[in-house]
């Protein structure tokens, strides 16, 4: 394999392509169509069949999801996005495209036309020679090389050409970085909270139902913290004392818990996708019902370093669903299972 892994990513188990975000397109009558409008001289509409009748390209492109899983060398069949745009004759003020899905929340994401020309994204209907399943964006999705996968819109129905950028769903709602370059780890915008603001929030030890994306709680004593349903994406709990904390149903995607003391903490129903638990004490932690895609317990993703001194500590009292083992990368799942019987001096 010649594919390279960007920093902080891990290869997903071969043959396992996780489903992330929306699960299905909104109902829609046949045939599937894509409508291009906005800063163009000629608005155009193509049916899926009309697209498939154009000269098709096949290309291998790696996937890098912001929740830390990657898939190497996936073979895609489709058309270059730039070719469709050129046929609509872009006006001189055209600078960005908003890619819009036929989905319940009219999900969208955006790209600059500079990036469209530089990265050459595809509009695809097949992968590895097989039609794209609806859960993965079939019948038609976008694949953007060189960006985190949230720029690769599923169920493409509309392309609006814009003079000014318009943030997409994840970029506006979840603070995902609008540039999204995996090689520069542009996962999130700068945290919404400064260290001083974080301190003010944390004196209460009560984060129930609060939104505090990028909270900086590193190195503090927060044992017994109440944080059910809190939105704490990208929060920093490195080396934090969190014994008996309650994070049930909280959103902790990409949060950092490195070397934190989490004994008996609750993560029931929480989203801990891409969270980093390396070096954390997870004895007696309850992960039942939690989503663990891309979470890190051991190693650096490349499986090169499995140094147990920087791994999470797990015991018989650490609870998790069997489903968690399917969500984790193989090395991580093995650590979780073997940790239950492992003895710690
Ligand atoms: N319409 C739509 N497209 C979307 C999303 C979504 O929720 N809705 N999620 C994005 C994110 S965050 C990722 S990682 C990929 C996931 O694609 P997959 O489910 O095929 O793995 O789709 C992207 N495109
Ligand atoms: Mo994603």
Tens of pLDDT, residue by residue over 201-255, are 898 889 999 988 889 999 999 999 999 999 999 899 999 999 999 999 999 999 9
Rounded (5°) CA angle 163-79-30: 90
Residue 13, pLDDT score: 81
CA of 63 to the centre of ligand 1 (A): 11
Mutate to test the pocket of ligand 1, among 9, 20, 108 (most ligand atoms within 8 A of CB): 20
* Residue 120 confidence (pLDDT) above 70: yes
- Minimum CA distance residue for ligand 1 atom 16: 20
Where does the pLDDT of residue 300 fall: very low under 50, low under 70, confident under 90, or very high at 90 and above? Answer: low
Alpha carbons 215 and 220: distance in angstroms, whole number: 12
pLDDT on residue 68? 87
Task: Identify the CA nearest to 249 among candidates 225, 278, 271, 270.
Answer: 270
194 alpha carbon to ligand 1 midpoint, in Å? 30
Residue 21 Cβ inside 6 Å of ligand 1? The answer reads yes
CB-based burial, 183-199: b 16+ in 10 Å, e otherwise? eeebbbbebbbeeeebe
pLDDT digits (tens, 9 = 90+) for 183-206: 999 998 877 788 888 898 898 889
Report how far residue 142's alpha carbon sits from residue 88's, in angstroms, rounded to the nearest whole number. 18
Atom of ligand 1 nearest to the CA of 103: 1
> What are 78-106's pLDDT values in tens digits?
999 999 999 999 999 999 999 999 999 99
In the predicted structure, residue 312 carries a pLDDT above the cut 60: yes
Helix boundaries (H) for the chain: 48-52, 81-87, 113-119, 169-173, 195-202, 322-327, 330-339
The C-alpha atoms of residue 320 and residue 289 are separated, in whole angstroms, by: 7
Atom of ligand 1 nearest to the CA of 136: 20
CB neighbours of 197 closer than 8 A, spacing ≥ 6? Answer: none
């Amino acid at each position: 394999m010649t594919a390279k892994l960007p920093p902080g990513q891990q290869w997903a188990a071969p043959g396992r392509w996780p489903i992330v975000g929306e699960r299905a397109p909104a109902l829609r009558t046949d045939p599937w169509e894509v409508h291009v409008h906005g800063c163009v001289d000629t608005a155009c509409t193509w049916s899926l069949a009309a697209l498939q009748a154009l000269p098709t390209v096949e290309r291998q492109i790696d996937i890098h999801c912001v929740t830390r899983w990657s898939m190497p060398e996936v073979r895609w069949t489709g058309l270059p996005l730039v070719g469709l745009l050129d046929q609509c004759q872009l006006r001189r003020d055209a600078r960005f495209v908003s890619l819009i899905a036929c989905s319940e929340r009219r999900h969208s994401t955006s790209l600059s036309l500079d990036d469209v020309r530089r990265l050459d994204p595809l509009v695809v209907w097949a992968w590895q020679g097989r039609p794209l399943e609806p859960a993965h964006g079939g019948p038609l999705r976008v694949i953007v090389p060189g960006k985190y996968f949230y720029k690769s819109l599923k169920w493409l129905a509309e392309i609006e050409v814009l003079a000014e950028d318009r943030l997409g769903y994840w970029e506006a709602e979840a603070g995902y970085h609008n540039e999204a370059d995996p090689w520069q780890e542009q996962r999130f915008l700068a945290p919404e909270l400064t260290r001083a603001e974080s301190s003010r929030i944390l004196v209460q030890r009560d984060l129930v139902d609060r939104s505090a994306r990028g909270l900086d709680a590193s190195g503090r004593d927060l044992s017994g913290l109440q944080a059910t349903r809190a939105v704490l994406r990208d929060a920093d709990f490195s080396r934090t004392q969190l014994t008996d904390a309650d994070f049930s149903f909280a959103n902790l995607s990409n949060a950092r818990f490195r070397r934190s003391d989490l004994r008996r903490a609750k993560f029931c129903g929480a989203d801990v996708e891409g969270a980093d638990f390396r070096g954390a004490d997870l004895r007696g932690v309850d992960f039942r019902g939690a989503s663990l895609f891309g979470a890190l317990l051991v190693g650096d993703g490349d499986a090169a370093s499995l140094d147990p001194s920087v791994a999470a500590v797990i015991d018989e009292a650490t609870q998790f669903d069997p489903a968690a083992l399917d969500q984790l990368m193989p090395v991580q799942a093995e650590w979780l299972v073997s940790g239950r019987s492992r003895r710690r001096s």
